[in-house]
Amino acid sequence: MDILFFALQVIAVPAVSPLLIGIIRKFKALMQNRVGADVWQPYRDLRKLFQKDEIISDEASWVTRYFPYLIFAITVLLGAAVPLVSSLSPELVVGEWGVFSLAPVSDFIIIVYLFALTTFLLVLIGMDQGSAFGGFGSSREMMVSALAEGGLFFALFAVSIATQTGNVMEMVSSGMYELPLLALLPLLIAFMGFFLVLLAENARFPFDNPATHLELTMIHEAMILDLSGKRLALMEWAAANKLMIFVALGANLFFPIGVSTTVGFGWESVYALPVFGAKVLVFALMIALLESLMAKFRLFRLPDVLFTSFILSVIAIGIYVGAYV
Say if residue 128's pLDDT is above 70.
yes
CA dihedral 278, 283, 287, 292 (to 10 degrees): 40
131 pLDDT band (50/70/90 cuts)?
confident
Q: Looking at residue 73, what is its pLDDT?
A: 96
For residues 287-307, give the mean pLDDT: 89
243 pLDDT band (50/70/90 cuts)?
very high
Q: How many CA atoms lie within 13 A of 205 on its CB side?
A: 16
Give the pairing type, strands 99-101 and 91-93: antiparallel
Instruction: Say what the pTM is.
Output: 0.93
22 pLDDT band (50/70/90 cuts)?
very high
Q: Looking at residue 179, what is its pLDDT?
A: 65
For residues 229-257, give the mean pLDDT: 94
Q: Looking at residue 219, what is its pLDDT?
A: 82
90 pLDDT band (50/70/90 cuts)?
low
281 pLDDT band (50/70/90 cuts)?
very high
How far is residue 211 CA from its own chain's centroid? 18
Gyration radius (Cα) of the chain, Å: 20
pLDDT tens sequence across 141-171 = 999 999 999 999 999 999 998 888 889 988 8
Q: Which of 237, 240, 250 is nearest to 286 (CA)?
A: 250
Which comes out higher in pLDDT, residue 247 or 216?
A: 247
Q: Looking at residue 93, what is its pLDDT?
A: 55
Say if residue 324's pLDDT is above 60.
no
For residues 25-54, give the mean pLDDT: 93
Q: Looking at residue 152, what is its pLDDT?
A: 95
For residue 206, say if its preceding peptide bond is cis, omega within 30 degrees of 0: yes
Q: How many CA atoms lie within 13 A of 45 on its CB side?
A: 18
Percentage above 90 pLDDT, the chain: 52
pLDDT tens sequence across 173-226 = 776 666 666 677 888 999 999 999 999 999 888 888 877 666 666 788 888 888
6 neighbors 92 (Cβ within 8 angstroms): yes
Q: Looking at residue 45, what is its pLDDT?
A: 95
Q: Looking at residue 176, what is its pLDDT?
A: 65
Q: Looking at residue 217, what is its pLDDT?
A: 62
Which comes out higher in pLDDT, residue 211 or 65?
A: 65
Q: Looking at residue 265, what is its pLDDT?
A: 59
For residues 226-237, give the mean pLDDT: 93
Which comes out higher in pLDDT, residue 258 or 311?
A: 311
Q: Looking at residue 177, what is its pLDDT?
A: 61
Q: Looking at residue 245, what is its pLDDT?
A: 96
Which comes out higher in pLDDT, residue 174 or 324?
A: 174
